[in-house]
């Protein structure tokens, strides 16, 4: 098969679907990234002293509040670091999810 006929054959056999496949592979829609981003996780306690880990447990820190009206992001103790990153807390050490919660949640004045 000559190069010309091979090219013609491939165009006829796969031309349309190959072009569509290539376009789909190159197109990275925002939804692709949304699917890849499984949400902010602020549960790494590996850098904390045992007493600080215990304090988080004692106050029942969870990464996702059951009541969105009472989450870390709207607690007086929350200290945001930057958008889409774990923050800090004036009452607990370690990474804090703005979506998290603990028993020391306090409504801002």
The piece of 2-10, 12-20, 30-38, 90-98 that touches ligand SF4 (CB under 6 A) is 90-98
Give the one residue of 42, 78, 86, 95 binding ligand SF4; rule: CB under 6 A: 78
Whether the Cβ atoms of residue 102 and residue 52 lie closer than 8 Å to each other: no
Q: Return the residues of window 2-61 that contact ligand SF4 according to CB under 6 A.
A: 61
b/e code 43-82 from CB counts within 10 Å (16+ = b): eebeebeeeeeebbeebebbbebeeeeebbeebebbeeee
The piece of 6-14, 27-35, 38-46, 100-108 that touches ligand SF4 (CB under 6 A) is 100-108
The dihedral built from the CA positions of residue 51, 52, 54 and 58, taken in this order, carries a sign that is positive
The site for ligand SF4 (CB under 6 A) is made up of: 61, 72, 75, 77-78, 89, 91-92, 96, 100-102, 104-105
């Amino acid at each position: 098969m000559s190069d010309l006929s091979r090219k013609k054959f491939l165009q006829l056999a796969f031309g349309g679907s190959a072009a569509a496949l290539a376009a789909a592979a190159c197109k990275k829609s925002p939804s692709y990234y949304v699917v890849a981003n499984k949400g902010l996780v602020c549960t790494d306690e590996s850098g904390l002293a045992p007493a600080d880990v215990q304090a988080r447990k004692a106050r029942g820190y969870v990464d996702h509040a059951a009541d969105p009206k009472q989450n870390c992001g709207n607690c007086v103790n929350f200290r945001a670091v930057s958008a889409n990153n774990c923050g800090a807390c004036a009452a607990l050490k370690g990474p804090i999810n703005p979506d998290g919660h603990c028993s020391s949640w306090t409504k801002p004045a």
